[in-house]
Each structure stands twice: as structure tokens, then as C-alpha cells.
Amino acid sequence: MLALCATLCTALLFGSAAHAANLECIVPSKPGGAMDLTCKLAKKGLKGLDEAGDTTPTLSDMTIRYLPGGIGAVAWNSLVAQPRAKPNTLVAFSGGSLLYLAEGKFGKAKVSDVRWVAALGTDYGMIAVRADSPYKNLGDLLAAIKRNPRSVLIGLSGTAGSQDWFKMALLVRSAGIDPKVLRFVALEGGGEAFTAMHANHVQVVSGDASEAVLYAAGGNTRVLAVLSPQRLPGVLASSPTAREQGVDVVWPLIRGVWMGPQVPDAEYRKWVAAFDRMLASPQFAQLRSDAGLYPFALTGDALKDYVSKAVDEYGKRATEFGLVR
């Protein structure tokens, strides 16, 4: 009886704290893209800990808030500038966020400005068209661009220098095409890019495999190429890699969450520990697979070290394309 009371009292205590703490995960883009997927995956994974009897029942009460703008810059600057700590707020990030850091598109932001919590998995770039598109494979698309680069509108998340821009730039450069001649339409997140393509405002989307999983299953999207070392399982199993089609371009990217710089170390470590448990659970492995992501788990200091190295590497690549001087 005492044990039952203790369990109930603990649950009530944590439940009250959860409502007071206003737990949230910020999506730095519009709904429907891979950033949205990252927060939803974190929420499901943490809820799984609760259902397994973990000691952190408050975490599954997380809400998701959308804060688009500048492909992550608005969310970054908003939390970094907070005068008070927000220990219960996570922000989704991707390899694209790290690329923007390297290029200075978040202003004077540095890797050390925020607290890196966890990488939930890895994703890969992909190129997609509508199912009724005349482009049946990557070769068709590159040939059309070579004939008349102004005739193909490419939707992407961000502007010149974004990761989606880089994917197309690397692909067309392999075919001897100058990326400067391409026609891009800058959109706010992968969800908006796919919406624009299905409305025929753009003919091609340069995006991520996890985004394509959300749309390809419906039969209205054709993935021309995935930018992974080998074919991906699941929904995209029939989609060839760029390498299979003679174009040696691979674009991996991680997905994860960070917290604001003012969060006390003790609170930050609690979150890191919670994600350590989540990432190690078999239930999360299935959730990650269902979300179209692949194993890649880093937390805390190890993640910070990885991010620092990745930003350095992205900086070198951006300099190669004349995007950083």
C-alpha cells in the first residue's frame, strides 16, 4: 500500500511539475519538414521511457512550438538572447544548422553559444520530383538542366549556401554545370518545399530522405536519387543512390536537439541522461526507423566535439564554393 502511494504521489508530483515547467521542443521551421520530425521523434522517444517505467515521467508532456525564420536563425538568436534560463526548452537542429553556423548565417553565433544535448539519428539528402514528372532518373534531370538551366525550378529549404543548395550544386557540378546558373526557390522548411512541388510551383525538391519518406509512401512523389552510400531500407528501398547512377555525391546529416546557454549544468545533465536512456532503448530504435532516420547517437560533450569538427569541415566546403571569405 505504501509502495502504491509512493508511486502515485511521485507521478502526481512530476505531473504537476511538468505543467509548471512548460516543457517544449521548438521547431525552427514551418510544420511538415525534417525539423518537425525531429521534435516529434524526441517526444515519442521520451514518452516511451515513461511507458517503460523510467524515472522521468514529466518529459513526455512536451509540447511542440514552431518558430520559423532564417532557417533556424530566429530560434537560435531568440534562445541565446534569453535573459533567463529556459531549462525545459529544446530546439531541433540538423546538419544544415551546422552549415549555416560555418557560413556565418546565424550572425556572430558560435558552437559554444548553446548547449548541445543529443543527436537522435542521421539522415541523407535526396532529390525528388512529382510522380508525373518527365524526369525518370537523375540523368534525365541533369540533362534537362544542362540543355536549359532556367527551365527547371528547384525548391529548397534556405537560400544559396544552404545544405539543400549544396546537394544540387555538387550534383550539377559533376555534370559540368556551373551551380550559379540554377534557378532556386527559397522556402521555409522541407514541408513547404514539397507543398510547392505538388502545387507545381517548382519542378524539383532538393531535401532530405526523412522528408521524402513522409510523401513518397502516398504515391505522388518520385525520388530520383538518395545521397547515401547505399540504398536505404523501407519506403525508399526502390530509390537508387546517386552513386548507382554514376554521380559520386553522398550527403549525410545528423538530427538532434540543443538547449539555451543559460541552462544550469545540473538541469542540462538531466536532459543528457534522459536522452542517453532513450537512445539506448530498443523501442527508440524502432521509432527512429519509422521516422526514416538511421543510427547515430551522441550526447553531451561528445556531441559538442562532433559539432565543432563538423562546423570546421562545412566551413572548408563553403570556402571552396566561394560562400565564405
Average pLDDT of every residue of the chain = 87
Q: Which CATH number fits domain 24-122+253-320: 3.40.50.1400, 1.10.150.130, 3.40.50.261, 3.40.190.150?
A: 3.40.190.150
pLDDT in tens, 149-184: 999 999 998 788 889 999 999 999 999 999 999 999
How high is the pLDDT of residue 129? 97
How high is the pLDDT of residue 5? 38
Grid coordinates belonging to 60: 513526455
Nearest-angstrom CA–CA distance, 299 and 185: 35
- The mean pLDDT value for 233-253 works out to 94
Residue ranges per structural domain of the chain: 24-122+253-320, 124-252
How high is the pLDDT of residue 52? 63
24-122+253-320 and 124-252 share one fold: yes
pLDDT in tens, 15-49: 333 333 578 999 998 888 889 999 999 999 998 77
Nearest-angstrom CA–CA distance, 197 and 208: 14
Whether residue 119 is predicted with pLDDT greater than 50 in this model: the reply is: yes
- The mean pLDDT value for 90-115 works out to 92
- pTM for the whole thing? 0.79
Query: What CATH number labels 124-252?
Result: 3.40.190.10
Whether residue 146 is predicted with pLDDT greater than 50 in this model: the reply is: yes
Nearest-angstrom CA–CA distance, 258 and 300: 10
Whether residue 116 is predicted with pLDDT greater than 70 in this model: the reply is: yes
Select the highest-mean-pLDDT range: 61-65, 101-105, 199-203, 213-217: 199-203
Q: Which of 213, 232, 233 is nearest to 221 (CA)?
A: 213
Are residues 212 and 33 in contact, defined by beta-carbon separation less than 8 angstroms? no
Whether residue 280 is predicted with pLDDT greater than 70 in this model: the reply is: yes
What is the amino acid identity at position 179? Answer: P
